[in-house]
Amino acid sequence: MPVKYLLTALTVLANILLANTVLADEATDGWFNIAESSSHRWQGKLESGSFTNINGKKNNGYVYVYQVENKQTKSYEYGKAVVFLEACRKGYGYVYYNNMKDEYTGKDAFVRFGATIADNIGATACRSWDDGTGKVSGQDNGNGWELVAEASQSGEKYFLMRGTVRNRSYKGKSAITAVHGNNDVRAGTTTYSEYIIATADCKKGFGTIYQLDFDGTLRNKFDVALNGNSVISSIASKLCGKL
């Protein structure tokens, strides 16, 4: 089925770190548990998953039906979660949310084998794809994140995802990039982005580092010098050290 996506506000709650995760084999009444927080529970509908066509390309996505339970009000919301299969192979991307008419309602960044609710919603589509095809689109090596810096006052932690470090061209220049995770310890949330810096800037020891969303949209950019005392300098230094 064709799926259309429009730009709109991001969904909320899904970057919250999991309070509990239950595997799909613990299914009851036609639903299996995906993720759970203190206030909500996310479940997938058994046998609702299928390949889907996105942006005119055949079978390049996977979709399944989900429900979200508000524990306090005992109310439920329903929708469809959709993931590009390429995101399953890369290990990161977006999980898109549609209503039952296949109208876009939001999206969240996710990484496979991560600890947030969005991670588990997206990874569920990837696991279902693997189960249905008998293929393995990605494996958890158990050591995917490298701690780069920790803020002394807030306690926030900053990580780079090891398997995503790669060389690429950016703004017409050779560059190095990796997926970044920002763990807000106080809020109990983790957010994702990509950092990229030109190879030439790495070699001269200073320049500009760019922060991108997973779709390539520029989120921020920073002047930076390597081996400095700031968090952004630590990120740039660690990334340049991968060359």
Per-residue buried b or exposed e for 190-206, using 16+ beta carbons within 10 Å of the residue's own CB:
bebbbbbbbbebbeeee
Q: What's the CA gap between 216 and 193, in Å, rounded?
A: 9
pLDDT at 28: 62
Every domain of the chain and the residues it spans: 2-133, 145-240
Each residue's pLDDT tens digit, 140-178: 776 689 999 998 888 899 999 998 999 999 999 999 999
Each residue's pLDDT tens digit, 91-127: 999 999 999 999 999 999 999 988 899 999 999 999 9
Q: What's the CA gap between 138 and 131, in Å, rounded?
A: 12
Tokens of 143: 């050591």
- Secondary structure E strands in 46-115: 50-54, 57-70, 75-84, 92-98, 104-111
Dihedral, CA of residue 12, residue 128, residue 3 and residue 110, to nearest 10: 30
Each residue's pLDDT tens digit, 46-85: 999 999 999 899 999 999 999 999 999 999 999 999 999 9
- What pTM value is reported for the model? 0.85
